[in-house]
Structure 1
Amino acid sequence: MLRNTLGIVNIEGNNVHFGDVMKHRGVQAFGFLGRYRLIDFALSNMSNSGITEFQVYMPAEMRSTIQHVGTGKHYNINSKRGTLRLLNSATDPNSVYRHDINAFTENIHYIENSTKDYVLVAPSYFIYSQDFSKVMDDHIATDADITVLYKNVSDAKENFIGCQTLKFGEDRRVVAFEENHGKYKNRPVSLEAYIMKRTTFIDLIKRANKVSSLYWLKDILRDTVDQYKIMGYAHRDYVACINTTASYFNTQIELIDQDTRKLLFKHDWPIHTQTSDSSPCLYGPLAEVKRSLISNGANINGQVENSVIDRDVIIEEGVVIKNSLILNGVTIKSGANIENAIIDKATKIIHPIDIKGSETSPSYLKPHQII
């Protein structure tokens, strides 16, 4: 158990590109599978591993993250023995200083004043279930300065673009960090989750500031890879990187399949989230639902196929929805035909309309729109 470890949820990196899609909220707060937010996975992995002290570094668009994370009680963070701090740095979304080293520097006193010997740093845009106590055991057994979690993937040409890949020497020692440009199919991809001594982490922050005011943590790790003993620990189960609109869309469509979901969700490793007291979904007499995930509070009277329907969504008779993500509070009236689309929260589609995108470029409707 990692009771002597400070858990840090990092901000999204410079390889995360969503453009105008859901720009009103940070990636941490993106809805997922009609029930979760992306940050739930990082916080649950840390909490389940025994961490009791947390720091969540937030983006400029922090409101949704604050509302969802709250006091952290739903992540089993004990209010008497545990602490949770929601921290921010650059509040301007266009600031050139919107990177993690700057965020750590502006809040360095919280890191220096921690009584924990180790830190675990992980972002929220990688989705997986991992017992980090096993990573810590390996970290200690190998006498590593830094241990990085990675995944051997076979789809690096299409996914994980812009992520770091690892080059290994002997005995899993990392000798180089490289950027994935989609040139090779099979690559060991860094999940940007690092375990190290808290003093080592502080040293890296100070080193990065001496090199460049625009450095990221992964930049200074790349530069100093020969100065630390950096070891890799392989994650063996399901991993998704949510760093583009296409990956956000396709990952959820992929996880509609129950066998695939079982690779991510383990019965002995719960992913905690904020609960809702919505009533069960209501299906009308003409509802036709195939291979979809339907959340509580939804009211379905139309056709839904291979889609994720969030809470409190109303789908009237005569609506056809295929391969789409419908976020919470959306109303879709008769005559709408939606395929390969993301409909953001509280949007009302009240006129007959065809909305069709593609798997690589899904259509997107902003929140609170009337169409």
Structure 2
Amino acid sequence: MSINQNVLGLIFASINDSAVIDLTKLRTMGSIPYGGRYRMVDFPLSNMVNSGISEVGVITKSNYGSLLDHLGSGREWDLARKKGGLHLLPPFSQVGGGTYQGRLEALSNIWSFVEHTKAQYVILANSDLVTTIDFTDALAQHQSSGADITVIYAKGLYNRDKSTNGCILQIDEENTIKEVLTNPMLSGECNISLDMFIMTTDFLKQVVLEAISKNQKSLIRDLLQARKDDFVFKAYEHKGRFFKIDSLEAYYKANLALLDTDTRNNVFNSEAPIYTKVGDNAPVKYGLESNVKNSLVADGCMIEGTVENCVLFRGVKIAKGAVVRNCVLMQGTEIGEGCNIDAIVADKNVTISENRVLTGSPEYPLYLGKKATI
């Protein structure tokens, strides 16, 4: 992996928090656990590092204590550096002291950081997307196309009834973006924006300074939509698997999708690994009467009951006689003896006492809040 000091990465840790309000009451989007041992911020951060980007800023907003604890110095991502490295950027406006309300306002808040970078290009990304992408080809297309902004998108099924923050692109044969639609009333295969943007730092400075003067806050509404005739906006297609976490159902299905080997190998590519904070836990312990089928089980778990089609995070305990199916159980969850649960999303340190029966559905999984006791 070559180091590209000509590119600055900026990650928005809290954009679209309201789409999964159950999961973000006590944490930011970037802190949401995923896949047994990861956090959502691991994906954009690892993608940037694997693309050779050696300086990354993470823009926070609220409830970011667990995010700071997870990222630390950036050592797990090889970003604990004297030059460049990982920067955790404050959410507060320089004028008025309030938190930002859109990407442009967030960028204006941390503009002094961006101005000091020597990078010629900037890549912006959110923390609500599970995918593996190499930005190298997208950057090369941006450089050769003469675009002011390149938006990374993917073809996928869009459903207005289920998506709360969809952004659909209409693109011509030369990859020029002709229209940008937000939450349109349509369904079917569309060009779905992955909310990843490439531009030069000079262009970013131009639009941010204009946004400050005009009190503009939204990159999509105030720039991509309002000024599509003033600038050249191009699109780059990402062809890998992706999961956009824009609802509790989407989060639930994105976790259980990892039980499919092809999907898991596509998201977790051995040549471009997703890095995360290392946890020093003991191996999984299986009781003599345990029965586990088609499940992802993280280290530190203790299983004495039946587990089928589940994702279990670190330290989950399943007691004797318990039957757990189609569930996503976060760190420290304990299921008592004789329980029968199905289609549940349990946040961290949930306790379900003996002989309880809880049932959700794939379309409406039952969510149990952090530290809840049933």
TM-score of the aligned structures, taking structure 1 as reference length: 0.94
Query: Equivalents in 2 of 1:15, 1:187: separation in Å?
Result: 23
Give yes or no for the alignment of 1:229 onto 2:229.
no
Q: CA offsets, 1:310-347, max 9 Å, x none? A: 11111100111111111111111102211111111112
| Partner SS, residue 135 of structure 1 | helix
- Give the C-alpha shift of residue 264 in structure 1: 1.4
Structure 2 counterpart of 1:46: 48
Give yes or no for the alignment of 1:273 onto 2:273.
no
| Alignment of structure 1 residues 59-138 onto 2, 5 Å | 59-90=61-92, 97-138=100-141
Structure 2 counterpart of 1:18: 20
Query: Equivalents in 2 of 1:21, 1:10: separation in Å?
Result: 17
Q: Comparing 18-27 with 156-165, which one deviates more in the overlay? A: 156-165
Query: Equivalents in 1 of 2:162, 2:20: separation in Å?
Result: 14
| Alignment of structure 1 residues 211-230 onto 2, 5 Å | 211-213=214-216, 215-219=217-221, 220-230=223-233
Query: Equivalents in 2 of 1:154, 1:18: separation in Å?
Result: 20
Query: Equivalents in 1 of 2:220, 2:140: separation in Å?
Result: 23
Cα gap change, 1:39 to 1:103, in 2 (>3 Å): same
- Give the C-alpha shift of residue 256 in structure 1: 1.2
Instruction: Select 2:329's aligned residue among 326, 332, 337.
Output: 326
| Partner SS, residue 266 of structure 1 | coil
TM-score of the aligned structures, taking structure 2 as reference length: 0.93
Structure 1 counterpart of 2:340: 337
Q: CA offsets, 1:169-206, max 9 Å, x none? A: 34111122111335120110111111110011122222
Gaps of 5+ in 1: none
| Partner SS, residue 57 of structure 2 | strand
Structure 1 counterpart of 2:179: 176
Question: One-letter code of the match for 1:346?
Answer: N
CA contact under 8 A between 2:150 and 2:197: conserved in structure 1?
A: yes
CA contact under 8 A between 2:156 and 2:190: conserved in structure 1?
A: yes
Query: Equivalents in 2 of 1:337, 1:194: separation in Å?
Result: 45
Question: One-letter code of the match for 1:99?
Answer: G
Taking only aligned residues, the RMSD between alpha carbons, in angstroms, comes to 1.9
Query: Equivalents in 1 of 2:210, 2:224: separation in Å?
Result: 10
Give yes or no for the alignment of 1:286 onto 2:289.
yes
| Partner SS, residue 47 of structure 2 | helix
Query: Equivalents in 2 of 1:124, 1:96: separation in Å?
Result: 18
Instruction: Select 2:365's aligned residue among 343, 362, 365.
Output: 362
Query: Between Structure 1 and Structure 2, how many residues are aligned?
Result: 367
CA contact under 8 A between 1:331 and 1:349: conserved in structure 2?
A: yes
CA contact under 8 A between 2:43 and 2:131: conserved in structure 1?
A: yes
Question: One-letter code of the match for 2:103?
Answer: D
Query: Equivalents in 1 of 2:253, 2:233: separation in Å?
Result: 33
